[in-house]
Amino acid sequence: MTGTNKPVICVVGTGGTIASRYDTALGGHVSAATAQDLVSTVPELGNVAEIRVVEHSNINSALMDTATAFGLRDTLRRVLKDDDVCGAVVTHGTATLEETAYLMDLTVDSNKPIVFTGAQRNADEKDADGPRNLLGAVMIAAHPQARGRGVLVALGSEIHAARDVIKINPEILTCFGARDCGPVGSVTRQGVSFFMMPQRRLHLEVDHVKQEVHILKMGQGSSDLLFRACVAARVDGIVIEGTGGGNVNPPFYKGACAALAAGIPVIAALRLVSGAPHPGKGYPGSFQSLIARGAVSSGYLSGIKARILLMVALAESNDRDRLREIFAQAGGG
């Protein structure tokens, strides 16, 4: 708090549709508006909090690379270290927002609220949703009950936990959902309401992340071609998105076994929109056969979130037992 008796909230800009304007030379929208530009369009923010602004990056989130995303960890640490600052709001493109939000949830050790928001409509559209989403995110970050809930994501009046949130539609304003539960809260102009406390939070103290972690999604009749490429390149890790309860065909099983034999960690996840891998089938390629050969279950984490967790976890340890412990704590199942 400051002399105004209003909470101090720092808005950290990274770009995205919320900051996008039409570029005539390129013939399409690109991230252009600064975080200060976004804040200036929402005068109601001054009724909620004292706003400070930090520019971290200004790119559309499909272009977000690992170095820029992980660098946000240091920006947020610096911002939240200030005793006057009560919380932070990150404006981010929705395409990869769920990945950056979970990366921050794993690596920023603070009880102060961190709320990610964005928009489905560009900043220069007459009915842009960014201003209302930004107001809602600041309301959440300024709310006393937001402390200790980990990183939150707020768009279209819904509040989601970073671990579970997933983008479900490229057009509608409520574009995010949760894999195995609903929103953890709601925000409207009338106020903020929390329904539940996000579970299975995990903090890993690392100074870097492993970038060469790849997701291989199995389709009917898939070969082991991509596994062979990964083994030849000596990648840091592989996440398999299997069918049903986490099962794969013989070529994928062969590829996974080759990767494990080469010392490459393999995480067994699902290509489905909810649920966790589980035993049941007995043939080579079944989920239980992958686990028997040394793969680690993702639990209830999506393949995308399992990749983020593996990138962070491998910066701490590549010991298989430690990876199992980390994924059991983060993903359950």
Order of strands across the sheet that contains 213-217: 213-217, 237-242, 266-270, 296-297
Of 2, 4, 14, 17, the active-site residue reads 17
CA separation for the pair 49, 127 (Å, rounded): 24
Catalytic residue status for 243: no
H or E stretch including 215? strand 213-217
Q: What's phi and psi for 231, nearest 5 deg?
A: -65, -45
Helix, strand and coil in the chain, % to nearest 5: 35, 20, 45
Hey, what are 51's tokens?
């706003």
Is 187 in contact with 176 (CB distance < 8 Å)? no
CA separation for the pair 141, 143 (Å, rounded): 6
Any idea which residues carry the catalytic annotation? 17
